[in-house]
Structure 1
Amino acid sequence: MYKIYLNITLQLLAATLTLPQAPFVDFLGLAIAIVSAILAIYLSINAAWLVFGSALIGWDASLLGYTG
């Protein structure tokens, strides 16, 4: 089962890294993706919590003035 998660996560990571010209790929987005992948693989956290946590981090960053 972990092979499936790892395969999907690596595919998403490859897709994220091959879009450097896209304006939405920045340091914060890449950091969230890496941390989410680690949490999903090793702790088997539900994807809904990962999305919620990522949204919360992005919202906090925007409140603090992070523009990317």
Structure 2
Amino acid sequence: MKRKAIVDTSLCVACGCCVKVCPRKAISVPHGVYAEADQKLCIGCGKCAIECPASIISLEERNNES
């Protein structure tokens, strides 16, 4: 199990702060509405969660394949 970024899409305002700090480019705002974290690319470093001004990104334990 590894930590992975989880975005609360219902509260995200697509500011892009998380996108700018992700070292693996695991977070994107594909439709300009909310950020999404690619679980396969995410390494669970937490930079996105720290940078998020709305504090809506959390790190959760996930299986490696999800």
- Report which structure shows greater RCO (CA 8 Å, sep ≥6): 2
Give 1 or 2: higher helix fraction.
1
Tell me which interval the TM-score lies in, with the shorter structure as reference length: under 0.3
Select the structure of larger CA radius of gyration.
1
